[in-house]
Structure 1
Amino acid sequence: MDEFLETSEEFLVDCFGSNSSCLQTINETEIFVDDSAPLFPIERGSFIYTFFSIMYSTIILIGAIGNIFTMLVIYISKSMHTVTNIYIANVAFSDFIISILATPFQAMAILDQRWDLPEVMCNLCPMVLNLSVNISIFSMTCISVDRYQAIVDPFNHKPRKRTAFIIIFVIWTISIALALPHGYYYKFTITEMDNIIKPFCMLVTSNTLLPFYTFFLISSVMTYFLPLAITSFSYASICVRLRQSRAPGESTNVSRANNRKKVEKTLVIVVALFIFCWTPYTVFFIMTSNEDILRYKYINLIFLVSHWLAMSNSCYNPIIYAFFSSNFRTEYHKMFGLLRSTERMTHITKRLRSLSSLRVNILIFDRTTLTDIDSESKHTPRGNEAPLLENTTDLSSQTHPSA
């Protein structure tokens, strides 16, 4: 390690002497010296570092726990086994993956401005993040199409759970295929920043089979803009149809129509919040195709805010379901009640066990006592009983003198 640092220092001195950007491979590890303007410092213990550490921790905790409850509610309750809820469970699972496998590691790298994780994580984290996002947006697109068919064309709408599971399998296959290339464009490097050598996970934008920004633009159209266009069209058509008239056969069932409107409202909020959270992050990468923007001093703060906003989307859906969906709210209450009942039953079971052990001890004591009494009575001489009978006879004769 000492030899590596000495070689690196000699190399950096040569680079600074020429006052240019250098790229060289030392011991199969790239060292990149960037002479651009320094970024805004984010130091440990500063307000920005502490604030965003708390914010990241909050969305990780809420996202993990909330999405677990959403999946459990759909799995446990048979009334929740609908085609729409199957897709919602798929979205919850992808958000759960983001919360535990993507957000913590990327947040640590962004705040510390260095990559202290294993090299393989540099390629794995972008793939996991994009995989989860693709699954979420494709699932929401399927939900919107399913609701569109149910409202606009109810007679030809025949939802089947088996078909939903097949579609989910296709979603995962396509999402994996589109996420794998993201790992190709990231590489672990040793970077010189502010005269300090740091390990970092760098985005490779050149010398690749396909330029990154070309790939990112194509990927954004396929996994973001096109699905959102389909989703927006579906929900816009649904809103227009619900305002114009009730669905056929529901003219007398007002409560059912109102429940359907609430469901559509909930799903629209989910999609709108997804667009709000992920659009800044997507636009950021499109805008940074212009390298002059990367020289802006506060570009790291802009990325920090856009990244947190995008990651926070993984924790909102369970909250939306709890506030806007009566079905989910009821099932959440049942689950919390079940947890409380389980704790109560555990307490009662412990009490019963303690009482049972006490009862067993009492029975053992009683049986021992009775056994001792029986043994004493068996060993008592027969002669002691004769006087008692004689005395009894005498008493009886005294009681009846006339006899």
Structure 2
Amino acid sequence: MDSLLNTTDYYSSVNATNGSGLNDTEGYNQFVQPIWQIALWAIAYCSMVCVSVIGNLVVIWIILAHKRMRTVTNYFLVNLAFAEASMSAFNTVINFAYSVHNEWYFGLGYCRFHNFFPIAAVFTSIYSMTAIALERYMAIIHPLRQRLSSAETRVVIGVIWVLALLLAFPQYYYSTTDQLPGRTVCYIQWPEYTDDTAMDFKKMYSVSVVLLYYFLPLCIMGCAYLVVGLSLWAGTIPGDSTHRYREQLIAKRKVVKMMIVVVCTFAVCWLPYHIYFLLQQFHPDPMQLFEWRYIQQVYLAVLWLAMSSTMYNPIIYCCLNDRFRAGFQKVFCWCPCVPAASYEELELKSTRYLQTQVSVYRASRMETSLSTVLQPTEEERCGAEQPGSPPIIQTTLELTSTSNGSASRSALNPPDSPAYYGRHNMD
């Protein structure tokens, strides 16, 4: 099997040694499992794929269907969700079937796609998380610098996909199928390595991918979140801070905490997988690993753990973010175990609906005015009745609510006074 998300090179190595992968000395084929084991693994893999695909599609809907959710961070989350849902749908089940049957049923075209796309998807996933970490770093540590616009965010996402496809291209180029006695196999036929060759292309590519796909982005994210965490949690909130400042700080902490959990989950899920294949690449006798009685069970467990990273993110979003939780509750409102969603309170409605509601609210507020008529005192009444006294002008004080809820004076002068007409003519 190759070190990169598929079972192809794994079985080609076994086939090259003994043709069938059978351990003749013990009379036991470690790659043939009882039906009950296959059934248990099938349930585990299919359940994981269903949770991953449905959960990530809901995440995409929550962000794209609600304008309030269309932030720079959430655009990267859409890219992350799309990559993970695609890998689960197009690779995981096929990989499991090939692991169990050791026979390729899907032709050369899908063999190349099967070896090519998962590399691009994993690259896109982890570098989307890296972009989020850097975006959070810039927003919190350097808040006065210009933030990414929507157009710039799309450009960054496009660059991530282009780099991912380029890095995965060798997997596509060297993929092939071969007809063995009684079955077909799909594998990657790397260039031959001899003593005269300056480098082992397969090992060089495998190590490069592990560094670029795992260790380098994790180091970048670790440094970024360390600095951000020290900035957000090292100090205490000042006692005289405004309520708005406290809310913003708490919101930033929640977002950063959610993304740290996402990154740590990814790292834990993929670490055994990379250790497994680095060990395979640099073991003095790799075939000794394949002859171990339980190697198939170990591989299926390691693969399931790595692929399961695609299903945890929607669960993390739902648990740690109020708006995502409201969106999930809205989607699964038909389920009796799901509590009623606070959909309206979190303003996840469509933009047009929100604008209509705000306009109606403002109009009703603007129409509400408070008029106070200042009645003359008794002495003023008596004085007005005396000959030669100026007439008493009834003064009206009108307070009109503005759109932000504050009150403004619409008439401080009597309607008949020159100041009243002068002020209104200037408006």
Task: Letter of the 1:199 partner, please give it.
Answer: T
Is 1:167–2:156 an aligned residue pair?
Answer: yes
Q: Map Cα deviations across residues 61-89 of structure 1 (whole Å, 9 max, x no partner).
A: 11111111111111111100100000000
1:182 CA displacement: 1.5
Match of 1:199 in 2: 184
Match of 2:131 in 1: 142
- TM-score, normalised via structure 2 length: 0.66
Is 1:270–2:255 an aligned residue pair?
Answer: no
1:301 paired residue among 293, 297, 301: 297
1:177 CA displacement: 0.4
Is 1:279–2:275 an aligned residue pair?
Answer: no
Residues 2-401 of structure 1: matches in 2 within 5 Å? 39-43=29-33, 45-46=35-36, 48-191=37-180, 197-204=182-189, 207=192, 211-245=201-235, 251-252=241-242, 253-289=245-281, 290=283, 291=286, 292-336=288-332
Which structure's residues are more often helix, by fraction? 1
Q: Take 1:126 and 1:259, find their aligned partners in 2: how far apart are those partners? A: 40
Contact residue 32 and residue 190 of structure 1 kept, 8 A: no
SS of structure 2 residue aligned to 1:297: coil
Task: Letter of the 1:198 partner, please give it.
Answer: R
Q: Take 1:22 and 1:103, find their aligned partners in 2: how far apart are those partners? A: 23
Q: Take 1:310 and 1:230, find their aligned partners in 2: how far apart are those partners? A: 21
- TM-score, normalised via structure 1 length: 0.70
Q: Which structure carries more relative contact order (alpha carbon 8 Å, separation 6+)?
A: 1
Task: Letter of the 1:288 partner, please give it.
Answer: Q
1:331 CA displacement: 2.7
The change in CA–CA distance for 1:247 and 1:165 in structure 2 (over 3 A counts) is: farther
Q: Take 1:285 and 1:205, find their aligned partners in 2: how far apart are those partners? A: 16
Match of 1:11 in 2: none
Contact residue 73 and residue 335 of structure 1 kept, 8 A: no
Contact residue 22 and residue 29 of structure 2 kept, 8 A: no
Contact residue 318 and residue 328 of structure 2 kept, 8 A: yes
Q: Take 1:157 and 1:42, find their aligned partners in 2: how far apart are those partners? A: 58
1:51 CA displacement: 1.0
Contact residue 246 and residue 257 of structure 1 kept, 8 A: no
1:186 CA displacement: 3.7
Q: Take 1:110 and 1:285, find their aligned partners in 2: how far apart are those partners? A: 15
1:305 CA displacement: 0.9
Task: Letter of the 1:315 partner, please give it.
Answer: M
Structure 1 range deviating more: 287-296 or 131-140: 287-296
Task: Letter of the 1:271 partner, please give it.
Answer: V
1:44 CA displacement: 5.3
- Work out the number of aligned pairs and report it: 309
The change in CA–CA distance for 1:198 and 1:338 in structure 2 (over 3 A counts) is: closer
Instruction: Extract unaligned runs of 5+ from structure 1.
Output: 1-20, 24-30, 341-403
Question: Superposition RMSD on alpha carbons, in Å?
Answer: 3.0
Q: Take 1:33 and 1:327, find their aligned partners in 2: how far apart are those partners? A: 53
